[in-house]
Amino acid sequence: MEQKDSETNTPGPLDGVKVLDLSRFIAGPLCAQILGDFGAEVVKVERPSGEDSRHHGPYWQGESIYMFLYHRNKQAATLDTRHPRARAILEDLVRWADVVVENFRPGTLEKMGLGYERMKELNESVILVSISGFGQTGPDSRRALFDAISQASSGLMSMTGEPDGKPTLSGTYIADYTTGYQGAIGAMAALTHRERTGEGQLVDIASYDTMFSALGTRLIAELMLGLDMPRSGSRDLLTAPVNVYDAADGPIYIQAGTASLFPKLCSVMGREDLSADPRYATVEGRMADQAALESAIQQWTGDLPREEVARRLDSVGVPYANVASVREVAASPQLAARDMIVEAEHPSLGTIRMPNNPIHMEKSPPTVRKAPPRAGEDNDHVYGTILGLSAEQIRELRAEDVI
């Protein structure tokens, strides 16, 4: 368990970069959080009642656990963007920022009078990372999109599930996560370009594009071969035998589909007859008779505990994994050794436990310097220290419900 002190100010590779986070839900906030993990100063602006995800359960001490995942290393400021006085404040924040992250539906910023062209007038070198469902261009650009819609529309859902069942969603917000990562990559590439040229730019990230680019083998099979590959459940698309099997005390995933791994699996099963069978000498032959091979493997695993199956597979180097629950993986010694659960101290909420940034770097690693804040927790710092407003001006903004 890695312990990070919220008062630590370890310089990171993005130290000195200023990020204005206007985004909501997952993809945009995750993008800004990644920049913050690498040292950027991030100011998150949300409406006075807090962004939508603050009102989604489950809750811990009155705070949505969504906020613990996507908002560490940020200063939280509230602002009613519909208030007449909000426009000038937002413009001052754009002048301050190096990078602006937003994930409104395309056209929303323009309606607010703060589209990219206006941002460039305020700050000619600003980088605007616009994350949306279908992108800033194209016939679907104005359509609303959430993670599940991205999975369905991009082709991912059609690939997920058992061959004879309905298409299913991934068990996590894979489209939002992947899009957030791509947004952070785009922001850092744009910062490198600006360092070389002085030019800012618009970074246009679409969830639809991101998921399409991640379809893998099935996509290339369609583009190059015109081949529509069906859902395969937990089987591998191209090799066999690969699947989930029931051991005596739980499921275990075994991947032994290659020419070198299949005989090794047969040896620990005591079924050398299978590896000697000419029908199974090629991948194509094993793919054609997967059901029979899987039945033999299941007969072997069914009477053994997973620990024993694992020991035997380890002895010959066959890849496997217990199908772990979230509770089991959270207690994994491997994750502990990799410092993948991090703690941060919040001044009023106490200790918050979160997944750590998965990027490990020797010289300039990501850090957790500040716990995820409550809505408006840092208003005095953002409006006083960053924008230079007086205490009286901040009191007026509060009195008028601007912040």
Rounded distance between C-alpha atoms, residue 32 and residue 72, angstroms = 10
Q: Where are the beta strands (DSSP E) in 229-355?
A: 242-247, 250-255, 320-322, 341-346, 350-355
Beta bridge partners of 129: 101, 203
Which two structure tokens, joined as six digits, stand for 159? 């690939």
Q: How far is CA 392 from CA 21, 86, 382, in A?
A: 26, 17, 15
3-state secondary structure of 196: helix
What does the pLDDT read at residue 351?
A: 96
Q: What number does CATH give the domain 242-328?
A: 3.30.1540.10
CATH of 2-214+348-399, one of 3.30.70.260, 1.10.10.60, 3.40.50.10540, 3.40.50.300: 3.40.50.10540
Rounded distance between C-alpha atoms, residue 16 and residue 41, angstroms = 7
What does the pLDDT read at residue 260?
A: 97
The predicted model gives 279-283 an average pLDDT of: 97
Q: In one letter, which amino acid is 185?
A: I
Q: Domain spans of the chain?
A: 2-214+348-399, 242-328
| pLDDT confidence tier of residue 1, bands split at 50, 70 and 90 | very low
Torsion region of 40: left, alpha or beta (phi above 0 gives left; psi -120 to 50 gives alpha): beta
Catalytic machinery residues: 176
| pLDDT confidence tier of residue 10, bands split at 50, 70 and 90 | low
Q: What is the pLDDT of residues 373-399, one digit of tens each?
A: 999 999 999 999 999 999 999 999 999
Farthest-apart Cα atoms in the chain, separation? 85
What does the pLDDT read at residue 11?
A: 84
DSSP string, 217-244: HHHHHHHHH---PPP-TTS-SS-SSEEE
Q: What is the pLDDT of residues 297-309, one digit of tens each?
A: 999 999 999 999 9
Rounded distance between C-alpha atoms, residue 323 and residue 331, angstroms = 14
178: closest CA among 152, 138, 153, 214?
214
What does the pLDDT read at residue 9?
A: 55
